[in-house]
Structure 1
Amino acid sequence: MLRPEQMSKVSVAGTKSVVRDVIDVAHEQNLLHLTDYQGEYEGFDTGSPLGGAEEAADKLVTARSLISILGVTEEDAGPSRIVTEEALEDEFEEVRQEVNELDDRRDELESELQSIEERIAALEPFVDLGIDLDLLSGYDALEVAVGQGDADAIEDALESAEGVEAFDVRTGGDTVAVFVYPSGETDGTLDEALVGVEFTRFDVPDAEGSPEEYVQELEQERETLQSKLEAVENDLETLRLEHGGFLLAVEEELDVEVQKAEAPLSFATTEHAFFAEGWIPTKDYEQFRSALVNRIGDRIEVEEVERAEYDLEERESVSPGLTQGSTDGEVVTDGGAGTDADGSRASSELRSDGGHADEKEIDHPPVVQDNPGPVKPFEMLVRTINRPSYYDLDPTIVLFLTFPIFYGFMIGDIGYGLLYTGLGYWIYSSFESDAIASLGGVGVIAGLTTIVFGLLYAEAFGFHLPYTPVMHKGLQPAEVEWAQLWLVLSLAAALVHLTAGYAFDFVKQLSHGVKDAVLESGSWVVLMFGVWMWVFSRHAAGGKPELLFKVLDGHPIALGFNGFPVAVGYVGLALLVVGFVLLVAGEGFIGAVESLNVLTHVLSYTRLAAVMLAKGGMAFVVNLLFFGAYTYHGEFHFMTGTTAEQVLHHHPEATIMFGGLVHGGVAAILGGLLILVIGHVLVLALGITSAGLQAIRLEYVEFFGKFYEGGGKKYEPFGHDRSYTTQD
């Protein structure tokens, strides 16, 4: 769990006559993560696509276009099928022609409809005006303009304008029609007269008769076009229902064909031979090798070049998988690559025309995180930061163990926990996206821990259940010592969590030697425990918070701990000095500056107790506003079955905190119900955005910050999980 699956580097070599068979088998196995050839071997070139690659790629683009045009979805798939070459040539072409013709016709009708809509919209001002369209244009001497503007301002401008012998202004709604008869033969008299007047001019439609009648004609034409468009849409829908499954199968088959045809682009090739390398989970190597050998026989050489170590330092000393001799590009397939001086097998060889292969960059293995089922959803939280490196320890199991506990502790409510669990399960079961489904899985587990803590607190939606809780949140005045306990236990949780982070880093640093591990990781642990051993000791106890010594000594839990002895405090100070010296020796001035992290990072975990109290307080306030509450003998009580008058009658010494909207009139009750529902919804949502973010922050910043680098390569095997097609 703490390491990814071990990966093996595999080489496959053979003559070009079997390259297609090799690609077919490798694709069926869906195990080999191909490594692109980078030109590192003299005499070898990058391979070229197989024949038909370009044609298949063109058809694939066409298939995806048809699927998009028809709106085909997975629900249209139907049973899986075999897609033959004849179907790709004949049936696919027929469907393409039908769909494209209908799509072109649809585009044409939509364009005509848009034009009609624009013309109708342009006629609206003329309908308001109420003047026949043929009266607004076509004059030799009379100048006409139609638009929007201030009719009074227009009339004033025309009266004072030179060259205007007569004019008339007609209005209808917001539309103004201006008629001007010039006194001379000069064109543009109307335009000159309206200079300086706000007037937006409309183009007069080239039509005759009433604008209302013309609009009616256009609307009839629009209805006809809409009817035709609906018929085309129905024809396309029929094609979707009839051929949707076929198109999905064609797309998948072509996708597979293109993958296979382009695979040689990752190969090293000569005129007669090819060589391919890639990564495969070590446990699957024999299955992969057997599949190739059973299909192709001894015409190929399959070799496990390397089993990648988890230590990068050890991997860097591994020589490349290929060496070169002088056989003019011939592939040696005589059962191996010879033996070393001690009789052991050498790495697989592909020989060229002399010399030795240059040392190439280390080809880092892709990462397959190896976690059991319940832990897997938390891999998404790790990958949100970055995929673990092959040489990193995978912290997913730690997130699985700590994140739900942090979250459940902060919310601690049966009602909210049930809702989180239900919501998480719905997300997990409803979405195909692995990332979203994983988020749902995390929600389910976090919801379950919230229920567990709710049972311990005896609380549901902010109400105390009718049984004695195992522990209290500390919201009641009489339970304030529990709130103090949670602050102290938050510090203890921090020490455990951070120690795990430093331990991860210590293991990583061991690859550089024990000294580096001690100076760069162990120093932090020594320093941190030195600081906090002193903090929890009785040394200088008068200057420390009293809660450190009483919360586990009977207030509220009697574990007999009232602080470490003074001697332990001195040991802590000694460890503090030793840790600081080791830290400075390992990290220099930066280490000295950052040494305070052992204090601040631990204190950061007190947010666990703070958020718990805040969320519990919010739920309490929501219930308080609706039901009302009173204090009696240092405890809060909701007035769910009583009124303020009844409470004071039976308990005169009680204090009414709030009477409760439920005890008011109808309007108060309705407003209270709204507050109750919205309030609890907000608390539920803030549980995700606040408690969830605070918990994940502790993981990402405090915990991951101690050791995690990430940068792993995603495992992408060459192959395809068929959904719509079958080869049988």
Structure 2
Amino acid sequence: MLRPERMSRVSVTGSKQVMDETIETLHELNLLHVTDYDDAWEGFEPGDPIEGADEASEKLVVVRSLESILGVEEEDAGPTRLVTDDALDEELEGIRQDVNELDERRDELTDELRSVEEKIDTFEPFAKLGIDMDLLTGYDSLSVAVGEGDAEEIRGELREAEDVEAFQVYAEDGAVAVYVYPADDADPAVGDLLVGASFQAYEVPDAEGSPEEYISELRHRKQQLEGKLDTVEDELEDIRLDVAGFLLAAEETLSIEVQKSEAPLTFATTDNAFVAEGWLPTTEFVELADALETAVGDHVEVEELERAEYDGEGHVAGREPVEGGGGGVGEPTAADGGETATDGGTEKRKAADGGPASVASGTSSETRSDGGAVTMGGGEPPVIQKNSGAVKPFEALVEVINRPKYSEFDPTLFVFLTFPAFFGFMIGDLGYGILYMLLGGWLASSFDSDVIRSLGGVGLWAGGFTALFGILYGEIFGLHLISTYLWEGALGMGGSPMHKGLQPVYGDYAILWLVLSLLAGVLHLTIGWILDFIENLSHGFMDALTESGSWLLMMFGLWAWIFSGANGSAPSVLVGPESVFAGNPLPLGFTGLPAIDLFTIPGLGPFSAWLVVFLAGLVLLATADLIEVVEFLNVLVNVLSYTRLAAVLLAKAGMAFVVNLLFFGVYVDSHGAWHFGLSGMPTIPQGQSTVMYHGHEVTDVMFGGLMHGGIAMLLVGILILVIGHALVLVLGITSAGLQSVRLEYVEFFGKFYEGGGRAFEPFGYERKYTTED
């Protein structure tokens, strides 16, 4: 789980006479992640597509265009089918003609409908005025303008205009028509006269008659166009229902054909031979070799070039020897300087280091002077993460950052172990946990998207831990019913084994969670830096010690010094008789680590051996990278960041408490404990300080509760109760979820993880809509 699946680089070399059969076999196996040839070998060139590739690509474009026009979805597929070449030629062409004709007709109707709607919008202001269109244009001595504006402002501007002899303004529902008779020798534009008024002019359409009648005709035409458009849409829908399954199957068939026909583009080829390289899981090599031997016999040679081991920077750190060239199919046909190709020819190419390297089409690897193989480019191997069913959904959270590189540890297992625990601890409620599990189950079972289904799996685990902690806290939807009926009633205990610490009587638990959050941070970060230490061991022990061990020493030294008292400056909750582990609330008797003071610095106080450990780590860090020394306080800040676990715990508990307080009401007993008024609220008679209620000596009523205030208040209370708990449920995801993710991504991943691995994409196709039979 912590490392990706072991990968092997393999080479398939053979005669061009069997290249088609080899491609067919490799495609059916769906095992080999093919490496693109980088044109680096002398005498070899990328291959040419197989005949028919262009035609298949053109048909694939047509099919996808038809699917887009018709709105074909995966659920329209129907049963699997066999798609023949005749069907691709004849049936596809018939569908194309019918769909294109209807699509063009739809476009024409849509364009005309849009034009009609624009004309209606244009004429509506004129219809408000009720003035015939021919009365708005064609005057020699009058200037006319129509638009939107304030009629009184327009009249005021025209009265003050010197170039206006007379004017008339008609206004109706925001639409304004302005007629202006200019003074002698003046020819003013109406728009120029109204610059100081609120007026936006319209362009007067070239039309005659009543605008209402014109709009009526346009609306009639709109109805006609909408009816015709609906008819075309119905015809397209009928075609979609008839041909959707065929189109999806045709797309799959053509995609497979294009894949196969374009495969030679990734090969290194000569006139007579080809070489294909790629990666596959080491455990699958024998299956690949056996299948090719069965398909093409000794016309190809399959060779396992290397089983990759990479260092933290992606460089080859080791190559496991593969006996006999990896047990490839076929035997080398010559042992002299030029090997005999499988097709009877002889091929040579030079090694990447410039030395002569004898490689034929009968052997896929070049030989270097150091005995290694000169292979095609391609960088690190692709990554297949090895996670079991329970852990696998958490790969989606990891891949939000990036897929792990082949050379890195896969952090998915650690996310699986910590993320649900962090989330569940912060929410800790049986009711919310059940709802989260139901939501996760729905996502996991109702969607085809792998990402959404993975998130559903994460939700199931997060909800499960939320429910588990809810039982330990004794809460369901913020009510302490689990504590009352399980821990106190059924098991006879004094209460639930854990408390959130929201109530004053259990306030010590809030401090406990704060301290445990710090310890969880130390543990979580320790795992991260240990993983980084192991990865850096490939560079040597000293590199690992200075780059990773230094941070561990600094963190342990600083926090051990803090837990030893920090020269008297550490909070009492960490050390001393009042610490949370000395009995408040855990009776472990731990009062802090020994100080181990070595000497005293005048004016500063004792100097602890724990600080020596911290300074040793700081010196080691400086020898690795001096600039990183400025970040030495990360060992303090990163651990303190985990206190958000306790903070969110109290915040969510407080929100749920307020919601229940408003609905049920809360009273306080003589011990300071809070009780919800589930079956009623006590009344303290005037002149008394306490009253007994359900076995509790009540000293105060914090709030009477809406459910006890009559029918109207009850209805309001129910609304608040439902909305309030729904809000807490949602904020649980956005706060507890995001804070848990932040601890993983920022604090934990930042210690050892970069990401950037390539996904394993084997040459092949998983059929969904077609069958080969």
TM (norm. structure 1) is: 0.89
Map 1:56-455 → 2, pairs under 5 A: 56-138=56-138, 144-149=144-149, 169-178=169-178, 191=190, 194=193, 196=195, 198=197, 200-311=200-311, 315-316=316-317, 327=338, 330=341, 349-350=363-364, 363-455=379-471
Name the CA distance, whole Å, in 2 between partners of 1:180 and 1:94: 64
Instruction: Report the equivalent of 2:583.
Output: 554
Question: 1:656 and 2:706 equivalent?
Answer: no
Q: Deviations over 1:632-659 (max 9, x none)?
A: 1120111222224169543676122222
Work out whether 1:577 is the aligned partner of 2:604. no
Residues 161-181 of structure 1, C-alpha deviations (whole Å, 9 max, x = no match):
789887655444444445567
CA distance in 1, matches of 2:555, 2:547: 13
Alpha-carbon distance in 1 for matches of 2:33, 2:108: 47
Secondary structure of the structure 2 residue equivalent to 1:637 = strand
Q: Which residue of the partner structure matches residue 341 of structure 1?
A: none
Which amino acid is the alignment partner of residue 498 of structure 2? M
* Deviation (angstroms), 1:399: 1.2
**Stretch moving more, 26-35 or 480-489:** 480-489
Structure 2: how far apart are the matches of 1:209 and 1:611? 72
Contact 2:706 2:713 in 1 (8 A): yes
Taking every aligned residue pair, what percent have the same amino acid on both sides? 55
The 3-state SS of whatever aligns with 2:737 is: helix
Deviation track 1:92-144 (CA, whole Å, cap 9, x = no partner) reads 01100100000000010111111111222222122222233344445677665
Q: Using the TM superposition, name which of 524-533 and 18-27 deviates more.
A: 524-533
Task: After TM superposition, give the deviation of residue 80 of structure 1 in Å.
Answer: 1.0
What is the number of residues matched between the two proteins?
719
2:499 equivalent to 1:472: yes
Q: Secondary structure at the match of 1:308?
A: strand
Matches within 5 A, 1:606-617: 606-617=643-654
Query: Which piece of structure 1 moves more, 133-142 or 453-462?
Result: 133-142
Residues in 1 aligned to 2:145 and 2:205: alpha-carbon distance in whole angstroms: 12
CA distance in 2, matches of 1:161, 1:577: 92
* Contact persistence 2:338–2:360 (CA under 8 A): no
- Counterpart residue type for residue 714 of structure 1: A
Q: CA deviation at 1:347?
A: 13
Deviates more, 1:415-424 or 1:251-260: 251-260
Contact (CA 8 Å) 1:42, 1:357: kept in 2 or not? no
Ranges in structure 1 where 5+ consecutive residues have no aligned partner:
338-344
**Does the 8 Å CA contact 2:39/2:45 hold for their aligned counterparts?**
yes
Q: Which amino acid aligns with 2:28?
A: E
Partner AA of 1:127 in structure 2: A
Taking the aligned partners of 2:698 and 2:156, their CA distance within structure 1 comes to: 84
Distance in 1, Cα, partners of 2:221 & 2:5: 68
| Matched ranges for 1:686-705 at <5 A | 686-705=731-750
Distance 1:253 1:461 in 2: 53
Letter in 2 for 1:577: V
Say if 2:768 is the partner of 1:723. yes
AA aligned to 1:269 is: T
| Distance change in 2, residues 1:173/1:284 (3 Å) | same
Instruction: Point out the more displaced range, 606-615 or 87-96.
Output: 606-615
Q: Which amino acid aligns with 1:431?
A: F
Q: How far is 1:325 from its partner?
A: 8.9
- State how far apart, in whole Å, the 2-side matches of 1:161 and 1:258 are: 76
Give the aligned CA root-mean-square deviation in angstroms. Answer: 3.7
Q: 1:132 to 1:546 in 2, by over 3 A?
A: closer
Q: 1:516 aligns with which of 531, 534, 543?
A: 543
- Matched residues in 2 for 1:512 and 1:193: separation? 81
TM-aligned CA deviation for residue 366 of structure 1: 0.7
How far the C-alpha of 1:305 sits from its partner, in A, is 1.1
After superposing the two structures, state which structure 1 stretch, 486-495 or 85-94, moved more: 486-495
Q: If the length of structure 2 is used for normalisation, what is the TM-score?
A: 0.84
Q: Give the SS at the match of 1:601.
A: helix
Structure-2 separation of matches of 1:598 and 1:163: 82
- Structure 2 unaligned residues grouped into runs of 5+: 327-331, 349-358, 488-494, 600-605
CA contact under 8 A between 1:643 and 1:663: conserved in structure 2?
A: yes
In the alignment, the residues of structure 1 paired with residue 635 and residue 723 of structure 2 have an alpha-carbon distance, to the nearest angstrom, of 41
Output one character per residue of 1:284-341: Cα deviation in whole Å (capped at 9) or x when no partner: 122222222211221111111111125468825659999999759945899xx9xxxx
Contact preservation (8 Å) 1:116, 1:222? yes
- Alpha-carbon distance in 2 for matches of 1:658, 1:3: 57
| Matched-pair contact (CA < 8 Å) for 1:127–1:212 | yes
Partner amino acid, structure 1, of 2:715: L
Secondary structure, counterpart of 1:387 in structure 2: coil
Tell me the SS of whatever aligns to 1:721. Answer: coil
2:562 to 530, 535, 550: 535
Q: Which moved more, 1:77-86 or 1:529-538?
A: 529-538
1:708 offset after TM fit, Å?
Answer: 1.6
**Partners of 2:35 and 2:377 within 8 A in 1:** no
Map Cα deviations across residues 352-373 of structure 1 (whole Å, 9 max, x no partner): 9999997876731111110100
Please name the residue that 2:602 is paired with.
Answer: none
How far residue 195 of structure 1 moved from its aligned partner, in angstroms, is 6.3
Q: Return the alpha-carbon distance in structure 2 between the equivalents of residues 645 and 302 of structure 1.
A: 89
Shift of 1:667: 4.4
Aligned AA (1:482): Y
Residue 488 of structure 1 contacts residue 548 of structure 1 at CA under 8 Å; is this kept in 2? no
- 1:481 pairs, out of 481, 502, 508, with 508
Task: After superposing the two structures, state which structure 1 stretch, 315-324 or 25-34, moved more.
Answer: 315-324
Name the amino acid aligned to 1:558.
P
CA distance, structure 2, for counterparts of residue 639 and residue 156 of structure 1: 70
The CA distance in 1 between the partners of 2:195 and 2:675, in whole Å, is 76
- 8 Å contact 2:9–2:278 — kept in the other structure? yes
Secondary structure of residue in 2 paired with 1:78: coil
Number of the residue aligned with 1:340: none
Q: Partners of 2:39 and 2:212 in 1: how far apart?
A: 76
Shift in Å, 1:418: 0.8
- Give the Å deviation of 1:182: 7.7
Letter in 2 for 1:671: V
TM-fit CA distance, 1:442: 0.9
**Could you tell which deviates more after superposition, 505-514 or 202-211?**
202-211
Q: Cα offset for 1:436?
A: 2.2
Residues 1:170 and 1:48: Cα distance change in structure 2 (over 3 Å): same
2:438 and 2:367 mapped to 1: Cα distance?
Answer: 66
User: Shift of residue 228 of structure 1?
Assistant: 0.9
